[in-house]
Structure 1
Amino acid sequence: MDAIKNAIGENFGGKAQELSTHQFSLDDVPDLSGKVAVITGGSEGIGYGCTHTLLKNNIAKVYILSVSEDVVKGAKGVIAKEMGEDVANKTKWFNCDLSDWKKTKEVAEQIKKDTDRLDILINNAGRGIMVSSSTYQLTDYGVDRHMALNHMGHVILTSHLLPLMKETAEKGNVVRISNQASNAHQAAPSDTKFESLEELNQDLGPNGQYGRSKLAGILYARYFARKVTNAGHPNVLMNATHPGFVSTKMSKEDIHEPYPLAGYGMSVAMEPFKKDQFQGAVPTMYATTVTKESGKYYCPPAVPEPGSKLAQDDELADRLMELTRKVVMEKTKRDSADQGCPFDDLVLH
C-alpha cells in the first residue's frame, strides 16, 4: 500500500503529495543566510522554483546559468516585485549552454573568482524528451546532445566547482549537490552498457535518449558518494532527484514534437493533475538544504527510492564515468592544450 501511495504522491500535484511516506515541504527549508548557490536553468520551470525558494530563505547569492537573458530578466523582475530589488539583485546570470564544454569550464572559473564559498549546486538544466527540430541530435563535439548536456556538461561544471565546494565544507559547512534525474530513467534501454561513444550516439528514440541521460544523473550521484563523500569529504554530498509530473515548457509545448497526438494528452488533458514549479522543486530543496546522506535518489516530496536495476549498478556507474572522462578529454583536447589546462581535475578517477 505504501508503494502505491508513494507512486501517486511522487508524480501528481495537489493533495496527492500528502500520501507519501516521507514528508517535506518548502516551508521546511531552513534559513540559508550567508550561503551561496549555483543553479543551472534557474530562471524558469523547476529551476525558478528553486531560485525563488532559496531567495525566500535568505540565501546570500544565487548564480544562474542559462541560455536566455530575457527569461532571466523576466524572472528577476517577478522576484523584485514580490521580494524587493535587494533580493532580486542577489542573483547573477551567466550565459551558458552546458553542451558547450569549453564555455561551461570558463563559467565555473568565473564563479570561483567571484565568490569565496559555494554551499549548493543544483544541476537542473536539461534537454527534455525533445527541445528543437529533431529529437536526436549530436553536438558540435559529435556527442549525443542529451548526454552531452544533461550529464557530461554537469559533470564538467561540478568538477571545476568542486575545489571551492571542498574548501567550503572544510570550514565546517555541509555542501550539497543535486542532479535533476527522473523516473523516466526507467526508459533507458536494458542493454545500456556505457562502453563507447558509438553506443551513446545511437538513436534510441525520444524516451530512450532522455531516459538514459536521467539514468546517468542517478549513477553519477552514486559514484560521487563512493569516490568523494566516502573518500575523505563527508560533508560534500551529492544526490539525484525526481521532480514528479510537473507543468513545464517540456510537458506543455516540447512534447508535441516527438508525440503530436499523445503530446496533446500530456500537455492539455493531464494539466490539472501536474505539479506546479514549486511542488516540482520540493525534492531538490530537500536534497540541497536538509539531507545528510549522499548517493541517494529522492522522489517527491522526500522519498528515498532505489531506482531501476540499472540505477543500482555500481559497475555501470564506473563505466559511465570512465566513458565520460574519455569522451570529454578527447573532444576538448585541443582547447585544453591551448590553454595549458587540461581537464585533469575532473572527478572521474
Structure 2
Amino acid sequence: MPRFNPLTDIPDLAGRVCLVTGASSGLGEQTVAQIAQHNPAKIYLAARNRGRAEAAMKRIKATFPAAATSAIEILDLDLASFESIKAAAFRVNKEVDRLDILQLNGGIAVTPHASTQDGYEIQFGTNYLGHALLTQLLMPKLLATTRLPDADVRIVSMSSVGHKSFSAKDGLLFDQLKSDIKTTSGSRLYGQAMLSKALFAFELAKRYPQITSSSLHPGTVKTRVWSGDKDFNPILRYLVINPLVLLSGVSVKEGAKTQLWCSFGKDVRNGAYYEPVGKVGKESALARDAELSRKLWDWTETELKTHGAPGWPEK
C-alpha cells in the first residue's frame, strides 16, 4: 500500500490549474486546502452555495498559512443544473489556457427521491451525469494541456464502496433514469450513481489514454454526508452506519489522501479504482464491465446532445 503525505508528496504546482467540485466542505474543501499549499497558478473551488464556498475559502486561508496567498477562486456550480454546469465550464474555458487536475468530488448520498432541474434521477444526475457534462465541456482544455511540456493531466472521480454493496446486480436502470424512480430504494440509487462514476473513469481511460483517469472510495470519513434527510433504512442508519462512522471514521484530512494520491501519486493506473490509500483491484465486476461502460458512455452522449452539449472531442 503506498504511503502518501500531501505536504511532501504533492509536487510544486507552479503554472498548474486545478478544479475541485463539491469543495465548500468535507473532502472537497480539504482537497483544495492541500493543493493550495503547493503553489498552483489557480484552483477553482467549485460549489453550489456561494456563501458556504466563501466560508470554506476563509477557513482554508486561516488554517493553512501556505495557502493564504494561493490563487483560490470560487466557481459557482450546481451539478443538478445543466445551465449552471455550462456557465461554469464557459468561465473556466475563457479564463485559463490549461487545466491539469479535474477532481469530480461533489455529490449527494441516499437523498429522498427527486429529480434534477433537467429531469434525471437526483443522485444519478448530480453525482454522475452533471460531472459527465462538466468533463465533456472541459475536455478540449484538458486535451490541450496534455500537449504541453511535462504535462500530467488527471481526472479523479469520487465513487464509493457503495457501488459494490448497494447497486443492482444487473447494473444500471437505463429505462428509468429520466424520472425520480420512486419504486427503487435510495440506497440502490446511490449505488447506481457510484457505479456510474467508476465506469466513467474506466471508459475515459480507454477513450483518452493521454489523460490519467481514476475512481476511488475515500474510506469511512467523518463528514456531513450522512446528515439530514435520507431515504435509507433507519435501523441500518442509526444502529450500523452512524456508529460505524463515529467509531471507525477518519478525519477529512486523512480521508482526502486517496483522491490526492490519485491526483499526484506516481503509480496511478489509468482507469483503475482505488481504496485507501492506493489499494487497487477492490472494485466490483460490474465496474470493469466493458460492455456496460460503453453502453453508459453512449447513453450519456445521446442524452447530453439533447440538451445542446457538443459531444466528446477527438483525442
- Partner of 2:155 in structure 1? 177
2:83 aligned to 102, 108, 116, which one?
Answer: 102
Structure 1 stretches of 5 or more lacking a match?
1-20, 337-342
- Partner of 1:145 in structure 2? 122
- Partner of 1:271 in structure 2? 246
- Partner of 2:103 in structure 1? 122
1:67 aligned to 34, 38, 48, which one?
Answer: 48
Question: Judging changes above 3 Å, is the alpha-carbon distance between structure 1 residues 47 and 113 closer, same or farther for their aligned structure 2 residues?
Answer: same
Alpha-carbon distance, 1:270 to partner: 3.6
2:280 aligned to 277, 293, 304, which one?
Answer: 304
Question: Judging changes above 3 Å, is the alpha-carbon distance between structure 1 residues 323 and 220 closer, same or farther for their aligned structure 2 residues?
Answer: same
Alpha-carbon distance, 1:162 to partner: 1.1
Task: Give every structure 1 segment of 4 or more consecutive aligned residues whose post-TM-superposition deviation is greater than 6 Å.
Answer: none
Question: Judging changes above 3 Å, is the alpha-carbon distance between structure 1 residues 318 and 136 closer, same or farther for their aligned structure 2 residues?
Answer: same
Q: Look up the SS of the partner of 2:68 in the other structure.
A: helix
What is the alpha-carbon distance in structure 2 between the residues aligned to residue 111 and residue 198 of structure 1?
Answer: 29
CA RMSD across the alignment: 2.3
What is the alpha-carbon distance in structure 1 between the residues aligned to residue 160 and residue 218 of structure 2?
Answer: 7
2:263 aligned to 288, 291, 296, which one?
Answer: 288
Alpha-carbon distance, 1:101 to partner: 1.0
Amino acid at match of 2:171: T
Q: Residues 194-226 of structure 1: CA distance to partner in whole angstroms, max 9, x if unpaired?
A: 543458753421210111101011111111111
Identity of aligned residues (%): 24
Amino acid at match of 1:254: G
Q: Does the 8 Å CA contact 1:194/1:316 hold for their aligned counterparts?
A: no
Q: Residues 294-334 of structure 1: CA distance to partner in whole angstroms, max 9, x if unpaired?
A: 1010110111124111111010001111111222223x1xx
Quick check: 78-87 or 66-75, which moved more?
78-87
Question: Judging changes above 3 Å, is the alpha-carbon distance between structure 1 residues 289 and 22 closer, same or farther for their aligned structure 2 residues?
Answer: closer
Q: Look up the SS of the partner of 2:86 in the other structure.
A: helix
Question: Judging changes above 3 Å, is the alpha-carbon distance between structure 1 residues 56 and 108 closer, same or farther for their aligned structure 2 residues?
Answer: same
Question: Judging changes above 3 Å, is the alpha-carbon distance between structure 1 residues 198 and 284 closer, same or farther for their aligned structure 2 residues?
Answer: closer
Amino acid at match of 2:86: K
Amino acid at match of 2:310: D
Equivalenced residues, count: 309
Q: TM-score, normalised by structure 2?
A: 0.90
- Partner of 1:224 in structure 2? 204
Question: Judging changes above 3 Å, is the alpha-carbon distance between structure 1 residues 149 and 347 closer, same or farther for their aligned structure 2 residues?
Answer: farther
What is the alpha-carbon distance in structure 2 between the residues aligned to residue 102 and residue 199 of structure 1?
Answer: 17
Alpha-carbon distance, 1:72 to partner: 1.5
What is the alpha-carbon distance in structure 1 between the residues aligned to residue 22 and residue 114 of structure 2?
Answer: 20
- Partner of 1:76 in structure 2? 57
What is the alpha-carbon distance in structure 1 between the residues aligned to residue 49 and residue 172 of structure 2?
Answer: 35
Indicate yes or no: 2:243 matched with 1:262. Answer: no
Alpha-carbon distance, 1:70 to partner: 1.9
Q: Which has the higher helix share?
A: 1
- Partner of 1:211 in structure 2? 191
Q: Look up the SS of the partner of 1:294 in the other structure.
A: coil
Question: Judging changes above 3 Å, is the alpha-carbon distance between structure 1 residues 263 and 166 closer, same or farther for their aligned structure 2 residues?
Answer: same
Q: Residues 140-199 of structure 1: CA distance to partner in whole angstroms, max 9, x if unpaired?
A: 322101111111110111111111111111012110110000110011100224543458
What is the alpha-carbon distance in structure 2 between the residues aligned to residue 95 and residue 260 of structure 1?
Answer: 34
What is the alpha-carbon distance in structure 2 between the residues aligned to residue 225 and residue 269 of structure 1?
Answer: 34
Question: Judging changes above 3 Å, is the alpha-carbon distance between structure 1 residues 295 and 117 closer, same or farther for their aligned structure 2 residues?
Answer: same
